[in-house]
Amino acid sequence: MDRNRNNGTKDIRLVARGVNRMPFGKFLYLLVPWLIILAIGMYAIFLCLAKGLNQTNMDNRFAFGVWIFLDLSIIALGAGAFFTGFLVYILKREELRAVLNSAVVIGFICYSGAILVLMVDVGQPLRAWFTFWHPNIHSMLTEVTFCITCYLVVLSVEYAPIVLRNKKLKEVPAFLAMQYELHRIMPVLAGVGTFLSFFHQGSLGGLFGVLQGHPFAFREGLAIWPTTFFLFIISAAAAGPSFILLTTWIASRVSRKRLVSDNVFALLARISGSLLVVYVMLKSIDTLTWLNRTVPSLGLSGIGFFLWAPFNIWILFAEIIVFGLVPSLFLLFGSGRLRTGWLVASSVMVCCGIVLNRFVMTIQTLSLPTMSFDRFMIYTPSWQEIAAFLFVVAYGVIIYSLSFRYLRLFPQEIEMKVN
């Protein structure tokens, strides 16, 4: 019966047994817009590499622009990979195996995309190895560089068995054997991945928390790390499952299939919600400490940071209450009761909240004046920056679509079909 249903697909031999996929022509047709974006983005990246970063609108003040913001955001959203692996392999939450493969693919896309953009973002990409050869161990960026490259390797190794289990590739005995061997070391990889992720998610927060020159971003430390180190870990761990929930839902809507059971959604929502409640609490404590202790000790008034339009006090309110507390309560208390649509909407808000937080840390930090005779500045990214940004999005959509079509991302898909 499946054979008949898949008649329209020319690439039937590559599609996993027991699942239905849309006709090949339609699949290509849906990918065309993304391929166009990919091509434009590639041209923009080529321009930036060939002509230099003068193609962007970054300047000496906005040394970090929309790309660093993008990196921080997608690395936070890609945290689902490590966190799901951690939950499945270390804490033995077997239910989440249903989204584990998908989470790995998402993580792989996010990290490879981030590294790709970073390589365009630095002025001398060919010197990238300097950080590995002459590392400054005091720099948060060194920690980030080491951890994200190592973690990308881990993710690639985690991705490999999923690819090798493709129906066609499986016919090669060596691939099957390799897939089996790789599968056995998964718990180890999950452990390593968790360790690496903890450090680089934290270091990305530390990146800004250590900026003693920018009181807006500077946070006092716990041990050797500023508090943003811990806040970034928790917020990424909270956003990760939300993003998995969101992408699973989108995949399920686009393919018009049920991919996971509702209780997986509910579990993801509960995990995300409970972590987010903790995060909102800690973030509030941190913000209050910063406003009432850190900033006054530097002879400034905390409110002074929020007087500069368009980044007024609303941004703090939006970040903590609207996109923090509200969705966290929805996810936490609504996970068993609310319909999936509500959970998805809340997940969108969680992701927005995390992205907003990363925006505040990068863009708002740099826009605020530090000296009294200094100016408040904003910056508009150039088309090349936006195109490179969208390149990563298109790249992600294409990789995910291909993986969804040819690999078995959702093991529950077949049983869902029967029910």
Partner 1 sequence: MTNGNQVKSLTGKKHNFGMVIDVDRCTGCGACMIACAVENNVPPGPVDATDRTGITLMRVYKADNGMDFPDNESVFFPVSCQQCEHHPPCVSVCPQNAVEVDPATGIVGQIPVRCLGCRYCMAACPYHARYFNWWDPVWPEGMERSLNPDVSLRMRGVVEKCNFCFHRLQAAREKAAAEGRDEIKEGEYIPACVESCPTSAMTFGDLLDEGSEVYRLAQSNGSFRILERLGTGPKIYYFSEREWVRNIAEKDPASALKRGATTD
**Residues in contact with partner 1 by the rule CB under 8 A:** 52-54, 59-64, 121-124, 127-128, 130-131, 133-136, 138-142, 145, 207, 210-215, 298-301, 303-305, 307-309, 365-366, 368-378
Residues contacting residue 35 through CB under 8 Å, at least 6 positions apart: 394, 398
| Closest CB to partner 1 among residues 47, 81 | 47
| Closest CB to partner 1 among residues 86, 232 | 232
Residue among 418, 419, 417 nearest 21 (CA): 417
Could you tell me the smallest distance in angstroms from the CB atom of residue 45 to partner 1? 15
| Closest CB to partner 1 among residues 101, 365 | 365
Could you tell me the smallest distance in angstroms from the CB atom of residue 298 to partner 1? 5
| Closest CB to partner 1 among residues 135, 191 | 135
Could you tell me the smallest distance in angstroms from the CB atom of residue 295 to partner 1? 10
Could you tell me the smallest distance in angstroms from the CB atom of residue 388 to partner 1? 16
| Closest CB to partner 1 among residues 13, 138 | 138
| Closest CB to partner 1 among residues 50, 174 | 50
Could you tell me the smallest distance in angstroms from the CB atom of residue 204 to partner 1? 12
| Closest CB to partner 1 among residues 260, 361 | 361
Could you tell me the smallest distance in angstroms from the CB atom of residue 206 to partner 1? 10
Could you tell me the smallest distance in angstroms from the CB atom of residue 232 to partner 1? 16
Could you tell me the smallest distance in angstroms from the CB atom of residue 214 to partner 1? 7
Q: What are phi and psi of 222, to 5 degrees?
A: -110, 125
| Closest CB to partner 1 among residues 201, 403 | 201
